[in-house]
Amino acid sequence: MKTILVTGGAGFIGSNFIYYLLEKYNNVTIVNLDILSYAGNLTTLVPISQDPRYHFVKGDICDRILVSHLFEQFSFDTVVNFAAESHVDRSITQPDIFLKTNIMGTQVLLDTAKKHWNLEPDNKYSRLYRDGIKFLQVSTDEVYGTLGNEGLFTENTPLSPNSPYAASKASADFIVRAYHETYGLPVNITRCSNNYGPYQFPEKLIPLMIYNCCNDKPMPVYGDGLQIRDWLYVEDHCSAIDTVIRKGITGEVYNIGGNNEKANIDIVKLLISALEKDESLIAYVKDRPGHDRRYAIDNTKIAARLGWTPQYTFEVGIKKTIEWYLNNQKWTEQVTTGEYLKYYSKMYG
């Protein structure tokens, strides 16, 4: 039986990953460690709260005593680290929070895994492959910086982060790599493109625009809206992470992309059309500092070496996403706080 520590499992991708694992595997025990920041919501996980395979622990990945206790109690053989402050806008105004969680929190997890998996520099690789131990760091394409009109990010693209958020994630990636090279910790790093789908906190582009559009609120678009992102349906991301855990070569980085490049303004107009609203709701606002112009992921490596490819086209994924938010407006209202409304009201007055 696999015993998996999922950090940040009450967030968007983490909660979807937990659902994915519980649906796919019977012989799994999952411990969800989440501090329940504004973007972490236990309402998302109510349907599985009584599942004996699932355990929730409220806590901070920076808490060494708690993390060590959990390793002793559950004897994890797999760690999947989703826990992160993840919103670029917030990292610009509060970078210290991002550096603490995304860098120091990752280092606490690595230290604890090294200790409990009995790894020392002189016995590098001695028992790792036999025991099936794995530390998987969930990263982002934003660590690569920005692209011009041509080209794709590969795993060999130099890291060149442009925001405090991206810099904190790049730093964590380097630390994870260093623990592999120094101590033989069996790690993988995955770098994904923009995720979308159910349970995404409504500060991100797609759920924010759906929420505002449904409520006839201004739909804030940065700059000219021509920033291009590659879009990945969250269930495809979950299946890719599962594939890397099972098949990934220790120490390797794998890019995970959806092969769906779209400009932000095109996404906004698509949602307006689907929801039968008027484009007068679009409110162009001042672009944010250091806003990367284009991201695009080359997922050739994970496809060729591990046999993973995305199963959802953007047309199918966005339709499922819109339907989910329309059918779960109560969820959106529950997680939409006064702080969130105040924060985004600054964008459009």
Note if 165 is an active site residue: yes
Give the residue ranges of DSSP H helices in the chain: 12-24, 64-74, 88-93, 95-99, 106-116, 128-131, 164-183, 205-214, 234-247, 264-274, 300-306, 314-327, 329-335, 338-348
Could you give the angle at which helices 64-74 and 106-116 cross, rounded to 10 degrees? Answer: 40
Contact assessment for residue 219 and residue 281, using Cβ atoms and an 8 Å cutoff:
yes
Question: Which residues pair with residue 284 across a beta bridge?
Answer: 221
Q: 256 — phi, psi (to 5°)?
A: -125, 110
Note if 141 is an active site residue: yes
Question: Which residues pair with residue 78 across a beta bridge?
Answer: 4, 134
Question: Which residues pair with residue 104 across a beta bridge?
Answer: none
Q: How far apart are CA 54 and CA 241, in angstroms?
A: 19
| Active-site residue identified among 19, 54, 144, 165 | 165
| Maximum distance among all Cα pairs of the chain, rounded to whole angstroms | 65
Beta strands in 127-227 (DSSP E): 134-140, 187-192, 194-196, 219-222
| Active-site residue identified among 34, 60, 85, 142 | 142
Instruction: Look up tokens 């530390």; give the residue.
Output: 135
| Active-site residue identified among 34, 60, 85, 141 | 141
Note if 230 is an active site residue: no
Q: How far apart are CA 341 and CA 20, in angstroms?
A: 31
Catalogue the active-site residues. 141-142, 165
